[in-house]
Chains A and B, each alone.
Chain A
Amino acid sequence: MAKITFVEHDGTQHEVEAAAGTNVMQAAVDNSIQGIDGDCGGMCACATCHITVDPAWFAKTGARSENEESMLTFLPEIAETARLGCQIEITDELDGLVVHLPIEQF
């Protein structure tokens, strides 16, 4: 299990528990976190689970895939630590992960 903190645009924080093997998008949807849609169900195909990883955690979340890179170009601005939540697999090492939610999804 890993604890993940979702920080809304206005600073409101939500802490959830997620099982290893699942992903950040799923953790948000399962816990009804507003601001993560996950329309495609985790196929890296819609960019509606866009989040920004807290810089301190970015290296641990792994690298963006080519497809993910492409889906991120849907966004008006791509932050350096922008990711798609569905592409970050939860591992025990991510216990304590902090991610920031955008104003709205695309």
Chain B
Amino acid sequence: MTAIKEIPLNELDPTVQTRFQSGEHYEVFDRLRAEAPVYFHEDTQYGPFWSISNYKDIIEVEANPKVFSSDAAYGGIWIKEQPKDTIRKSFMTADQPEHDVQRKVVNPIVSPTNLHDMEKKVRDIVTLVLDDLPLNEEIDWVERVSVEVTGRVLCELMDFPVDERLDLTTWSDIVNTDVDAGTEISDEYKKLEALAPMIKKFKELFAERTAMPPQTDLISMLAHSQETADMEPQQFVGMLVLLMVGGNDTTRNSISGGVDALNKFPEEYKKLRENPELVDSMVPEIIRWVTPVAHMRRTALADYELKGQTIKKGDKVIMWYCSGNRDDAVIEDPYQFKIDRKNPRQHVSFGFGIHRCLGNRMAEMQLRILWEEILKRGWIIETTGEPERRFSNFVVGIDSLKAIIRPA
């Protein structure tokens, strides 16, 4: 294989999934930031598109949703064009004014009052999960901790039956399956077919909550809101899928990726054990380090000048968050995992602008409480190998991470 530094820029496809598994994608984006931070690739596996790879340029694109559309009608947020009849629309793939109307409905789930109520519930869930773990024995951290914590929290948020929680993980993984990964789910239609049980279940729950008095869970909120109650089934399923995936995969992979990072930077892990209060600044650093969502797509609705380049109306634009989070013009020593950064929240993992992650504080809370509880027990989580990474250029997925818990 040709070394990345020797490939001519116009032949370098930044979307090659296996490089995201091996970590070589960082070299690709180091080159793009240095040589052409706003670059038009003419030939990739997804056809032509612009790569935006600098931190500040990503924010500029995010801050201009009128020019850079997320609307499903133009291709939404997906780098690969989707067949029109398989698209589930949500506020993530809506422009204004539709976006605000829908987002406002679910916003109360992350209000300070609700977050405060969730704090104790999340701690109970984390305690339950950790108390069940064997010590001095190899376990799969993903399966035993990351999946369990996020799945149970999601059940709480949706008032979803907790004994069926693994369905949420399975469905979320199906949604995020790269159709080119060589699995049975080889196109969007097969994906929809595989998601049939999810659609059935969500429709049932939606009907059940509609018939009940309003509650504080997400499904009830949607069922009883004026804006969303009369939605087409495809639309509310779209909303629920967004909330399910958003509240699942991303935090799960941050939990796993954080353990991996601490093991790769043992001096930081030592610092953490000696100063447990550093959990607060470590959490956003984990989210930067992992960058659970590697990119998002926009479509230009008008010509736009950026760094001397003209992005043409109709062009596909990819904002590479995984690159912005390694931009040394903004982040000092970006390839260093540092749990005590001065501005740890300076990262692009949540996106910016109107589509900024809705659950950002909920995600941080889960990571914080998990680490508070691990440190309280005096445990050292020792990984015993490399994480098994998923074939994807979108979700930075860790499917397995073997570890041993060493008690104090």
Within the complex, which residue of B62, B103, B113 is in contact with A73, where a contact is CB–CB below 8 Å?
B103
Tally of contact residues, B, Cβ under 8 A: 25
Residues of B within 8 A of A (CB): 56, 59-60, 62-63, 65, 96, 99-100, 103-104, 107-108, 110-113, 345-346, 352-354, 356, 360-361
* Given known A-B contacts A70-B354, A74-B107, A76-B107, A43 and B59 have beta carbons under 8 A apart: yes
Residues of A within 8 A of B (CB): 37, 39-41, 43-48, 67, 70-71, 73-74, 76, 103-104, 106
The 5 closest A-B pairs by CB, nearest first: A76-B111, A45-B352, A45-B63, A45-B353, A43-B63
Whether A103 lies near B354 (C-beta < 8 A) is no
- The number of A-B residue pairs with CB atoms under 8 Å apart is 56
Whether B361 lies near A39 (C-beta < 8 A) is no
- How far in angstroms is the closest Cβ of chain B from A79? 14
Q: How far is the CA of A101 from the CA of B134 in the complex (A)?
A: 45
In terms of DSSP, what is the predominant structure of the interface of chain A?
A: loop
Residues in B with CB closer than 8 Å to A71 are 353-354
Q: How far is the CA of A74 from the CA of B121 in the complex (A)?
A: 24
Residues in B with CB closer than 8 Å to A74 are 103, 107, 356
Residues in B with CB closer than 8 Å to A46 are 352-353, 356
* Given known A-B contacts A43-B63, A45-B59, A76 and B108 have beta carbons under 8 A apart: yes
Q: Which of A44, A45, A73, A74 has the largest count of B CB atoms less than 10 A from its CB?
A: A45
Query: Which chain A residue has the least Cβ–Cβ distance from B352?
Result: A45
* Given known A-B contacts A40-B63, A43-B60, A45-B62, A73 and B112 have beta carbons under 8 A apart: no
Within the complex, which residue of B60, B63, B112, B345 is in contact with A39, where a contact is CB–CB below 8 Å?
B345
Whether A104 lies near B63 (C-beta < 8 A) is no
Residues in B with CB closer than 8 Å to A70 are 96, 99-100, 354
- How far in angstroms is the closest Cβ of chain B from A43? 4
Whether A106 lies near B100 (C-beta < 8 A) is no
Q: Which of A40, A71, A73, A103 has the largest count of B CB atoms less than 10 A from its CB?
A: A40
Residues in A with CB closer than 8 Å to B111 are 76
Q: Which of B100, B111, B353, B361 has the largest count of A CB atoms less than 10 A from its CB?
A: B353
